[in-house]
């Protein structure tokens, strides 16, 4: 009873690589399905309208003014 250890090693190598490859393919398919389900039930929000953007711009200007005032106050004393 003579066993060829090299052939046994090659068999185990292909079995292990086949298992990993199969797992990765199944994982990719599941992730694609999950992505489609999420996009179906939770679509991406629509872009802001002009009125919302102008309000956001005013808020940003207020924030910049507050930061500038804080820096000037800190430098003075």
Same domain (yes/no): 39, 51: no
Same domain (yes/no): 25, 55: no
Whole-prediction pTM value? 0.52
Task: Decide if pLDDT at 1 tops 60.
Answer: no
Same domain (yes/no): 11, 36: yes
Considering its fold, how many domains does the chain have in total?
A: 2
* CA angle in degrees (0–180, nearest 5) for 6-9-13: 140
Q: What is the pLDDT of residues 28-62, one digit of tens each?
A: 999 999 999 999 999 888 776 665 667 777 888 88
Same domain (yes/no): 15, 38: yes
Q: How far apart are CA 11 and CA 5, in angstroms?
A: 10
Q: How far apart are CA 59 and CA 53, in angstroms?
A: 10
Expressed as residue numbers, the domain containing 14 is 1-44
Q: How far apart are CA 53 and CA 66, in angstroms?
A: 20
């Amino acid at each position: 009873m003579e066993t060829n250890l090299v052939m046994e090693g090659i068999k185990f190598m292909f079995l292990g690589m086949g298992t990993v490859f199969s797992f990765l393919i199944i994982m990719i398919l599941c992730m694609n399905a999950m992505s489609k389900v999420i996009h179906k039930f939770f679509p991406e929000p629509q872009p802001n309208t002009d009125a919302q953007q102008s309000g956001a711009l005013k808020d940003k200007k207020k924030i910049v003014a507050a930061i500038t005032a804080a820096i000037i106050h800190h430098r003075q004393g």
